[in-house]
């Protein structure tokens, strides 16, 4: 399959063009000749030297990531930018990155798949970002406690779950927004949810959660954002194109 076709199919699947301009990341094909041939695709959360080198070691032609190398464009190819581009070009490795569209996707997105992992039923979007939502609002069939929801999160690739326990004893209405989601605590408060499940927090989140009466579960930025790229790997594996796929794990503990 040509790289251009590979990228176009993912763009269409994830509505990349529809969400163009909403994200400070550059979504889609970031590095690579469009007429290159793709026979093996690697998948990882982060596009960094380590994953580039590992993808090359696995003979991948393209690496698909959630966190790419272009955030609002690249002004200078020096320092970190040079080293990362060099790792791609030296290994003839293409890079496809998808940030907000992968967060926002209601079926394949990080939040939707994390809610599914937690056996929560998605009922609406959550985390307004312009006309899109980057998370989901979900409900539990059987109410959770802090301990039971923490237990569900602990198998993720993290170094433990941190909880700000300020919500009700029964947890039924849950906002899920992966990565750094505590910026949306005001929206969670407006909606009256019982808990917010996210990856990492900022210092103000403690008082905001306390004042709102909401539990906040911090399960790790990396850990909560493995779901989308794994879902994309499953999709590409299912294409009837004879493509090989591989997933590169490198938990950060953050």
Binding residues for a divalent metal cation: 66-67, 103, 221, 225
- Across-strand partners of 129? 132
Calpha distance 91→194 (Å, rounded): 48
Q: Residue 191, Cα to own-chain centre: how many angstroms?
A: 23
Q: Strand pairing of 162-164 and 215-218?
A: antiparallel
- Tokens of residue 200, six digits: 């990492």
Helix spans in 49-199 (H): 49-57, 79-90, 100-104, 110-117, 146-153, 185-191
Q: Summarize the annotated binding site as residue ranges.
A: 66-67, 103, 221, 225
Whether 43 contacts 68, CB under 8 Å: no
- Tokens of residue 185, six digits: 């605590």
How many H-runs (helices) and E-runs (strands) does the chain carry?
A: 10, 11
Which residues 6+ apart lie within 8 Å of 186 measured at CB? 208
């Amino acid at each position: 399959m040509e790289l251009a076709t590979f990228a176009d199919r993912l763009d269409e699947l994830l509505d990349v063009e529809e969400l163009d301009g909403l994200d400070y990341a550059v979504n889609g094909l970031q590095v690579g000749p469009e007429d290159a041939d793709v026979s093996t695709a690697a998948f990882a959360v982060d596009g960094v030297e380590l994953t580039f080198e590992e993808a090359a070691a696995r003979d991948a032609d393209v690496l698909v990531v959630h966190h790419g190398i272009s955030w609002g464009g690249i002004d200078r190819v020096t320092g970190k930018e040079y080293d990362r581009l060099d790792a791609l070009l030296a290994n003839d490795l293409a890079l496809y990155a998808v940030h907000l569209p992968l967060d926002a996707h209601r079926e394949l997105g990080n939040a939707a798949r994390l809610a599914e992992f937690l056996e929560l039923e998605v009922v609406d979007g959550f985390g307004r970002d312009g006309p899109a939502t980057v998370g989901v609002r979900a409900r539990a069939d059987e109410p959770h406690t802090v301990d039971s929801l923490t237990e569900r999160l602990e198998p993720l690739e993290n170094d433990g779950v941190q909880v700000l326990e300020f919500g009700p004893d029964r947890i039924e209405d849950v906002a899920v927004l992966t990565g750094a989601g505590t910026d949306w605590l005001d929206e969670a408060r407006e909606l009256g949810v019982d808990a917010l499940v996210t990856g990492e927090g900022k210092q103000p989140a403690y008082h905001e959660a306390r004042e709102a009466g909401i539990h906040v579960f911090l399960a790790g930025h990396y850990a909560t954002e493995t779901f989308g790229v794994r879902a994309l790997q499953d999709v590409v594996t299912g294409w009837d194109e004879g493509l090989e796929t591989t997933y590169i794990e490198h938990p950060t503990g953050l």
